[in-house]
Chain A
């Protein structure tokens, strides 16, 4: 990262110019930021990454505490056995679909909640309640909601006459993926609502003068005025949510255990399974190294695109 304008949205946070600095001040800044930075750098980056890189060249057994150098064997193994690549694909698919639904739905609900009507405070609170629940326990609750032959969702759909008979939600690979996506959408759309609502409520009333004078339709107003004004919070929320979706684990653990036929095995679940269930540390480490590489590249591209070119206005 070149320290030109790409320094993550500083312009967004402060509009001030940097204070003229003296030599003495520099050391003070370092002194204060150093403990936290060292902790983060060592504990979360250097050590885990270094360990993963090192361990990815060995075949290590936790049980016997022996390790054997295998070169790129683990990496070759990952790409020749299908399940790692499949977990990347599955995780990516679940992430893209969930993110798309959460964004559209979150935006729609946020626009409605931003209007003035009776009971909107209550509606706001009710619509962010899913955030207060525990992800892993939600996974178990969705298990009850989609229970084979005793599913609440089936009952509701049958009652509405939309389907007839039971649906094999958790036995069918495609349907299981849909249930996993629903779980994530249910829990995290609220996150989008909160951020987008903040963005929408920050738009001054005067921005809509032009729309009134021109007698624009609601639709045109949205595309021409509202959307450009919330572009930045929208992009930021999508970035954060997208990155978080790559960590998707709890729901998978509680609801499907990666099944049926590995249809819902995300990358996090794959690493957990190889590292802590089958104790294949070499594979888990190599898989982690690849994930880090993907995320760093993706984050670098997205962040330079987002903050490097456009003047961020929060």
Chain B
């Protein structure tokens, strides 16, 4: 809008933004604050808005006693490997969808997309039974396969939209020079869609990083449990260890927050299957 803004409107806008920023940040601030105080002060009335005195007890405890380093490693492992697997399966499929015509293409693409809408809870019993049978329950590889399954549809759709933007002429002239399709795929398409692939790798990690339900059902011990599951385990018989859950929350939120800040441009595409840019 190019029209002049009245001073009254500017004040209204500032108030509006400050109000919503405060509301949006309150739970985040509370998490940070709760992670920094002694356990006796976590739930008191009137509440303490500032962490006084500051205690790192929460972080020390989760780091030393609760197996958090293991949870952290598991989370990174299943997300990174799951994202790589989704890309390995998804890149060729995206290329096919972008460049070739074949029978039932629309129906195949629609079917792939439809999986994104099915609640994981509805597939959990079958997948749990299957994984029990092939010994993938409580294994990091089981989660890798599950997370790849969640991400493949999004990878295919988003990367297809990236590849659609690469001019066909580049590939065609390369093919006319006598190179094979395979060579053009590796020498033209992959390098040109590298930014999209890198962004997709990050988006995949973002989408499954905080996943709780699947991870909670398919894991039973620290050998494969992820951070969200580890945090939920802190709800025990002696009560809920608020400060330690908060400490987990802060540590888990840091990498993912960096991803959303630095990959803002690609979030829209990741959220909308590449339909919106």
Contact = CB atoms under 8 A, between A and B. Distances in A.
A12 B44 CA distance: 54
B272 A35 contact: no
A253 B271 contact: no
B126 A51 contact: yes
B243 to A, nearest CB: 10
Contacts of B23: 186
Contacts of B27: 130, 133, 138, 141-142, 145, 186
Contacts of B272: 195, 233, 236-237, 240
Contacts of A296: 114
Contact of A40 (B16, B112, B231): B112
Interface string A110-144: 00100101000001111111111111111011111
Interface stretch (A68-76, A77-85, A169-177, A267-275): A267-275
B156 A36 contact: yes
B34 interface: yes
Contacts of B104: 3
A45 B123 CA distance: 9
Instruction: Determine the main DSSP class of B at the interface with A.
Output: helix
B97 A33 contact: yes
A117 to B, nearest CB: 7
Interface residues of B, number: 107
A95 to B, nearest CB: 11
Contacts of B51: none
B2 A288 contact: no
B115 A29 contact: no
A147 B43 contact: yes
A255 to B, nearest CB: 11
Contacts of A59: none
Instruction: Determine the main DSSP class of A at the interface with B.
Output: helix
Interface in A216-274: 221, 233, 236-237, 240, 243, 246-247, 249-250, 253-254, 267-269, 271-272
A249 B213 contact: yes
Given A35-B92, A233-B272, A48 B126 contact: yes
Given A3-B104, A36-B152, A268-B121, A48 B232 contact: no
A115 B149 CA distance: 39
A155 B255 CA distance: 32
A160 interface: no
Contact of B96 (A29, A48, A131, A137): A29
Nearest to B109: A8
Given A247-B119, A253-B212, A275-B125, A141 B253 contact: no
Nearest to A31: B96
Contacts of B256: 132-134
B271 A194 contact: yes
A126 B25 contact: yes
A210 interface: no
B232 A254 contact: yes
A265 to B, nearest CB: 12
Interface string B232-244: 1001000010100
B154 to A, nearest CB: 11
B148 to A, nearest CB: 8
Contact of B231 (A128, A134, A271, A292): A134
Interface string A8-37: 111011101011010001101111110111
Given A32-B95, A149-B45, A236-B272, A126 B24 contact: yes
Contact of A39 (B126, B149, B212, B246): B149
A21 B20 contact: no
B85 to A, nearest CB: 9
B93 A36 contact: yes
Interface string A291-314: 110011001000100000000101
Interface in A271-294: 271-272, 275-276, 281, 284-285, 287-288, 291-292
Given A52-B126, A140-B235, A150 B43 contact: yes
A37 B109 CA distance: 9
B106 A272 contact: no
B260 A131 contact: yes
B253 A144 contact: no
A272 B25 contact: no
Interface of B: 1-3, 5, 10, 13, 16-17, 20-21, 23-28, 30-31, 34, 42-47, 89-90, 92-93, 95-97, 99-130, 145, 148-149, 152-153, 156, 160-161, 164, 168, 181, 209-210, 212-213, 217, 227-228, 231-232, 235, 240, 242, 245-246, 248-249, 252-253, 256-257, 259-261, 264, 267-268, 271-272, 274-277
- The 9 closest A-B CB pairs, nearest first, are A29-B100, A7-B106, A132-B257, A32-B96, A288-B122, A51-B126, A137-B249, A36-B93, A134-B210
12 contacts: A3-B106, A36-B89, A44-B149, A126-B21, A129-B25, A134-B252, A134-B253, A140-B235, A141-B31, A141-B245, A152-B47, A250-B213
Given A133-B256, A268-B121, 5 more contacts: A3-B107, A32-B92, A47-B126, A212-B2, A288-B125
